[in-house]
Amino acid sequence: MQELSRRTFLAGAAALQAPVAAVRLPRKVRLGLVGTDGHPEEILGPLNRLPDVELVAAAQVDLAVLGRAAPKRIYSDYRRMLDSEQLDIVAVCNNNGVRAAAVIACAERKLNTIAEKPFAIELDELAKVKRVVTGSGIRISTLLPMRFSGPYLAMKQVVDSGEIGEVAQIAAQKSYKAGTRPEWYKHRSTYGGTIAWIGIHMIDLMRWTSGREFTEAYSTQARLGFPELGEMETVTATLFKLDNGGAATLRMDYFRPDNAPSHGDDRLRLAGPKGVVEYQASTGVTVLSTGEKPRTITSLPRSRSVFIDFLESVYLGAKPGITPDEIWRVNEITLMARDSAEQQRIVKL
């Protein structure tokens, strides 16, 4: 699957920056895994740096994806795994349509959970997940690794420094190769929509790097080309109104040619009255601000692991890189932006 290969490559690239030293926790942590859809490498990749974390069981998984990380016990039903094993943390990486039920099952058993995104594909379903999780008192995180990546950490630093002023315009892009997709991508009931699946990454980044909130959204989407992809949208665009009256746009497609040098082409541009900071892979992070020479930031912050961040927040008392409030809010905004496209109307966020 090309999506997995792309993310595996990025994880490998990030690992080149990663410190060789192991991350030690105060006690042994027993990990369970539900599913290998999406990006399980965000969980499996860091395990070699986590001597205190053991993947003790997995359910409804592809053994080829697990490889050497495969635990001794494999279950066909994740509920049996949750009831049979003495787990400390569960990573939920099943398809979008069944994720909400799995997260709820973990919360009902008081198991700290890190899950793929979105947490649900319908707003009423998300509200139930939020209610159960919040009531359970468990700790949560989600697989939004882009905000832990060096280029975007650098962009946030530029904005926070005040160099470009108050962000008033944001432009973001995700462009991927269509590739060969698993069956669950091809059905609205299990995929939930392209805005829900990949848009959530950029919606999170746009809000986090800029420090701005979104107040309204209007989206459009279409299924053009690649009939073998079924109900999966191949092109989307969303216009957001910012809380300061500014604007943000997010455009996405699955039209990147097969001969392109990389699977994806992600871009982000933040503009304010004093300047602009932007990122794309071909140029890196560039800054143009009032009274300064244009520059490229070559010394980037170290990329981090979203899974290790979660473990350090749970067991070492570290401040989490993404908070529960941020998780719930980005899920809500994303689903409402998707609903805007399906209902062809402006939505208040």
The per-residue pLDDT for range 204-229, each reduced to its tens digit, is 999 999 999 999 999 999 999 999 99
pLDDT beyond 70 at 13:
no
Q: Which tokens hold the place of 183?
A: 């069956």
Give the distance from CA 245 to its chain's centroid. 27
Both 33 and 126 in a single domain? yes
**Residue 115 is assigned to a structural domain of this protein:** yes
Q: In this predicted structure, what is the pLDDT of residue 4? A: 39
| pLDDT for residue 69 is more than 60 | yes
* Average pLDDT for 134-155: 98
Q: Please tell me whether residues 232 and 110 are part of one structural domain.
A: no
Give the DSSP H/E element, type plus range, for residue 159: helix 150-161
Q: E strands of the chain, at which residues?
A: 29-34, 53-59, 73-75, 89-92, 112-115, 140-142, 169-176, 214-222, 235-242, 247-253, 264-272, 275-280, 284-289, 295-297, 347-348
User: Domain check: are 24 and 163 in the same one?
Assistant: no
Question: Do 34 and 141 fall within a single domain?
Answer: yes
Q: What is the CATH number of the domain that holds 342?
A: 3.30.360.10
Domain residues for the domain of 139 are 2-145+306-321
Per residue in 168-208, pLDDT tens? 999 999 999 999 999 999 999 999 999 999 999 999 999 99
Number of independent structural domains in the chain: 2
* Mean local confidence (pLDDT), 3-10: 40
Report d(CA 144, CA 104) in Å as an integer.
20
| Residues 202 and 134 both lie in one domain | no
In 3D, which of 120, 342, 70 has the Cα closest to residue 231? 342
By the 8 A CB rule, do 170 and 113 touch?
no
Determine the distance from the C-alpha atom of residue 223 to the mean position of all C-alpha atoms in its chain, rounded to a whole number.
23
Per-residue model confidence (pLDDT) at position 21:
83
- Given this model, what pLDDT does residue 123 score? 98
Owner of token pair 């895994």: 33
Same domain, 103 and 151: no
CATH number for the domain including 55?
Answer: 3.40.50.720
